[in-house]
Amino acid sequence: MGEFLHVAFSYPMAVFTYPLIVVVGYWIVVVTGLFDTGDHDAPWLGLGGVPAGVTLSLLIAFSWLLTLIGSQITTLPVVPLLALASGWLGTRALLAPLRRLAPRERQPSRGDFVGQMCVIRTGSATADFGQAEVTAADGSSAVIQVRTTGQDRLSRGDSALIFEYDADGEFFWVMPYESEH
C-alpha cells in the first residue's frame, strides 16, 4: 500500500491524483444527498450532453488511470499530456451512450394550457368558434382557438377555464369562470 501511495503522489501521477481526490469527495457529498449533480452541461470540447460533474469525473478518472499505466511503461515527461488526450477520447466515447440517458429539457406543449385561465378575445365563443388569450408559465401570451360545451356562450372579455385540449380539432375546450373576488 505504501508503494502505491508513493507512486500516486509522485510525478506524473500527482498531476491527476489531487483532482481525483476532489472528484471522490464530490461524489461522496452527492451520494449522501448533500449536493445534487445538477443539470449544468459541459459543452466544451465535444463533452456536452450530460452534467458537468459526470463529465469532469470521467475525464479525471480516465486521465489518472492512463497516467498510472503510462508511467509504468515509460518515464517520458509527456505522459500526463498523452493521458489527458487519451482520457478525453475515452470520456467522449463513454458519453455518447450516456447522452441518451440524460433527461432532455422538457419542450412546451399545448397541453400546458389545460387548467389555465383565459380571456375571450373574439366577439363571442361558442361550440363552433372562438379565440382567447392565455398567459403561459414563462409570462408570454398566446391567442388560442377555443370552443364551449352545451349552451355556454362567452363574450369578449369574459374569463374562461381551459379544461381540455382537442388534438384532432386543434382547439381548447373552455367553460365560464367567475372569480370569487
Please report, for the domain that includes residue 170, its CATH number: 2.40.50.140
Region at 121 (left for phi over 0; alpha for psi -120 to 50; beta for the rest): alpha
Q: Domain limits at 12?
A: 2-101
Do 14 and 92 share a domain, yes or no? yes
Note whether 156 and 121 are within 8 A (CB): yes
pLDDT band at 159 (very low <50, low <70, confident <90, very high): very high
Average pLDDT over residues 88-106: 81
Do 61 and 123 share a domain, yes or no? no
Distance CA 132, CA 119 (A): 5
Tens of pLDDT along 119-151?
Answer: 999 999 998 999 999 998 888 889 999 999 878
From 2-6, 41-45, 130-134, the region with the lowest mean pLDDT: 41-45
Output helix, strand, coil percentages for the chain, rounded to the nearest 5: 45, 20, 35
Give residue for cell 489518472: 64
Grid coordinates belonging to 78: 509527456
Is 87 within a domain?
yes
Is 125 within a domain?
yes
Which of these, 138, 145, 151, lies nearest to 166 by C-alpha position?
145
| Prediction pTM value | 0.54
